[in-house]
Amino acid sequence: MKHLLTLLLLFTTIIVFGQADPGDYCASDSLATSPPVSLDKSAHPFCNLGVPDIVNNCKEVYVKVNVHFFVNDDGTGLTAGNGASNQLEQRDVFQKADDLVYFANQYMEDISSNKQLNQIPWGADTTSAQCVGLRFLLDEVFIHRDSNMDLINIGGHNDQYVGINYRDAYNILAVDIRRASGYAPRQGRYMVVRSFDQQLIVHEFGHSLLLEHTHFGNSNGDDNCFDTPWYKWEYDRYGDGSVIDSKKTCWNVSNRDASGTDLCTPNGTTVINPHPCCDSSTVNNNVMTYSAAAQSGSIAALTPCQVDIAMTELLKEKCDLIAAIEPICKPVSAHIGYKPNTDFSQDCSWTFYLRGSTNETEHRISYQKLQPDGTYSPFLDSDWLPGRAREERVVVGDDPYIKHGTVRLPSNSTYIMTLTTRNNCDTDHYRVEFTTGACDVGDQDDSPNPGPFHTEEFQAYPNPSNGPITLEYGIASSAEIEIYVGSNATNSFELIADISGYKLAGSYHHQLDLSFLPNGAGTIVVVVDGYPFYKQFVKQ
Ligand SMILES: [Zn+2]
């Protein structure tokens, strides 16, 4: 009963207050169909599998996706820097790609228990809730130096990013688009989106799998489905037979006319019949609309006909993109990202971003070093580390050691870094090969490049202290923060977990309880993306 009430409230809200967002527009209809890709089906294990078995048994089908971001031609700046949406700091795109996949998958899982509404009033075939087994698995995250792609026209500039180099995964291009929220050519292998809205992502993916808008037409209309209803409204406002044929959809509309008259409440004079869209049964919840009702995973739906079309296209024409079908648990992926201006042979420090890895519960990081005889030998190897892979900050210099997640690598050497991720039933790895330059930062506490940390804001007071001590620090951009406190005499440090974690840009103040420490000299360590900063204090 509670669910029904929620639904009714939502529909009421949409009809009374809802207005279409003029930017909420998918431009796929204006694009030519993408040419089919010739596929060697014998080379891919999931080609030629039967659609009915997968659909009827609600099997999950994981599709590999790449997410592409674009920055200035010189490699600097925010993503989509010339646009007005999709702006991100470069360091944040890897987590964003992981989030995009996570929330789109959640949406597809959620809509699996939902039924297409309003089939009866509009004369469509009535069907029950349709399971949606489509899932994404993040493959690669790219940051391209290409300011032409920041802000593009509908259908523009996409070819090089969906060419041969990226054809082994489905491609999501995160840009800003003039006059549209997104588009995806029918039958194509990419979408272009200006937001990470989960319905938009699934909607555009639907176009790539031959789904059409369920906007107009009749119940067996231009989307080739009999179970997607018709939504064009006609209105005889004055009861005199003069029908307004709006050719408009019955969602995201106001219940008032231009002069403010309530069209849902007949008054015997200016409103004889209520507007057809006042009836909540007219609201469309289909993913392939722009309806506000389709935004929510708890309401949106695809129909059996639509899922059959999509799965058939996927298994017939895009089976090379499938990573797994009905795996025992969610497949994992590993990814090592870095900013486009990272120059391994020149930089004294840089960050490897590991957040584009997906579904892992453990990870490990290893480095192999190239030997004079041309072979690689183990150099550093972490144990299995619990949790998600996050960041790895590398410093180039002699005397290799690991301290608080920072890796120090000798200069003028070639390495293969391997990230391995796993969960209970799957594992993946990703490798990057690079050669360090002549840089030597030496064994010092401060780096030439403090990253986002504001060293001048870093304070601990009172000092000396006979009670708690106040820690202040600031970061210029979001960062993974770990705060340790320890005694210099025992050289043991405790992670203060409740104030550690992923933090947004800003200034932070914490009162640290020192009662667990012996009197004497101690150290506070603030680790910013794996790079440590130290503050000495005395406990009295
Ligand atoms: Zn569309």
How many whole angstroms from 160 Cα to the centroid of ligand 1? 23
How many whole angstroms from 385 Cα to the centroid of ligand 1? 42
What pLDDT, on a 0 to 100 scale, did the predictor assign at position 287?
94
SS3 content of the chain, % helix, strand, coil (to 5): 20, 30, 50
- For residues 371 and 350, is the Cβ–Cβ distance under 8 A? no
- For residues 195 and 85, is the Cβ–Cβ distance under 8 A? yes
Phi and psi, residue 56, nearest 5°? -65, -30
How many whole angstroms from 102 Cα to the centroid of ligand 1? 21
How many whole angstroms from 451 Cα to the centroid of ligand 1? 41
Alpha-carbon separation of residue 198 from 29, 133, 358, 503 (angstroms) = 20, 16, 17, 24
What pLDDT, on a 0 to 100 scale, did the predictor assign at position 20?
41
How many whole angstroms from 11 Cα to the centroid of ligand 1? 22
Q: What is the pLDDT of residues 320-359, one digit of tens each?
A: 999 999 999 999 999 999 999 999 998 888 999 999 999 9
How many whole angstroms from 508 Cα to the centroid of ligand 1? 44
How many whole angstroms from 303 Cα to the centroid of ligand 1? 16
How many whole angstroms from 182 Cα to the centroid of ligand 1? 8
What pLDDT, on a 0 to 100 scale, did the predictor assign at position 24?
65
How many whole angstroms from 77 Cα to the centroid of ligand 1? 30
What pLDDT, on a 0 to 100 scale, did the predictor assign at position 286?
92
Phi and psi, residue 392, nearest 5°? -140, 115
Q: How many CB atoms lie within 10 A of CB 216?
A: 14
Distance, CA of 141 to CA of 92 (rounded, Å): 11
Distance, CA of 495 to CA of 283 (rounded, Å): 52
Helices of type H across 91-177: 93-110
Distance, CA of 433 to CA of 336 (rounded, Å): 11
How many whole angstroms from 228 Cα to the centroid of ligand 1? 15
Strand 151-152 and strand 61-71: the pairing is unpaired
How many whole angstroms from 292 Cα to the centroid of ligand 1? 14
Find all residues with CB under 8 Å of 153, minimum gap 6, and list them: 177, 178
Length of the chain, in residues = 540
How many whole angstroms from 232 Cα to the centroid of ligand 1? 17
Q: Which tokens in the block code for residue 145?
A: 């130096």
How many whole angstroms from 3 Cα to the centroid of ligand 1? 28
How many whole angstroms from 285 Cα to the centroid of ligand 1? 14
* Domains of the chain with CATH codes: 2-228+285-325 (3.40.390.10), 349-435 (2.60.40), 455-539 (2.60.40.10)
Phi and psi, residue 393, nearest 5°? -100, 125
pLDDT tens, N- to C-terminus, the chain (540 residues): 344 434 333 333 333 323 344 346 888 888 888 888 888 888 999 998 999 999 999 999 999 999 999 999 999 999 988 788 889 999 999 999 999 999 999 999 999 999 998 888 777 888 999 999 999 999 999 999 998 888 888 887 677 777 667 889 999 999 988 888 999 998 899 999 999 999 999 999 999 999 998 876 455 557 889 898 866 678 899 999 988 877 667 766 777 888 889 999 999 999 999 988 887 777 789 999 888 889 999 999 999 999 999 999 999 999 999 999 999 999 999 999 999 999 999 888 899 999 999 999 999 999 999 999 999 999 999 889 989 999 888 888 765 444 444 688 888 999 999 999 999 999 999 999 999 998 776 544 444 456 788 878 899 999 999 999 999 999 988 888 989 898 877 767 788 988 998 888 889 999 999 998 999 988 898 888 777 788 889 999
How many whole angstroms from 27 Cα to the centroid of ligand 1? 6
Distance, CA of 538 to CA of 520 (rounded, Å): 5
Residues near ion ligand 1 (CB < 5 Å) are 26, 28
- HSE of 506, CA atoms in CB hemisphere, 13 A: 5
What pLDDT, on a 0 to 100 scale, did the predictor assign at position 23?
43
What pLDDT, on a 0 to 100 scale, did the predictor assign at position 247?
66
How many whole angstroms from 204 Cα to the centroid of ligand 1? 6
Q: What is the pLDDT of residues 359-403, one digit of tens each?
A: 999 999 999 999 999 999 999 998 899 899 998 888 887 654 444
Query: Quick one: 376 exposed, middle or buried, by C-beta within 10 A (0-12, 13-18, 19+)?
Result: middle
How many whole angstroms from 183 Cα to the centroid of ligand 1? 6
Q: How many CB atoms lie within 10 A of CB 138?
A: 27
Distance, CA of 286 to CA of 206 (rounded, Å): 11
N- to C-terminal Cα distance for the chain?
Answer: 62
What pLDDT, on a 0 to 100 scale, did the predictor assign at position 164?
67
Q: What is the DSSP letter of 321?
A: G
How many whole angstroms from 207 Cα to the centroid of ligand 1? 7
How many whole angstroms from 295 Cα to the centroid of ligand 1? 13
- For residues 411 and 439, is the Cβ–Cβ distance under 8 A? yes
Q: Which tokens in the block code for residue 97?
A: 């790609």
How many whole angstroms from 186 Cα to the centroid of ligand 1? 10
The position carrying tokens 């932070």 is 508
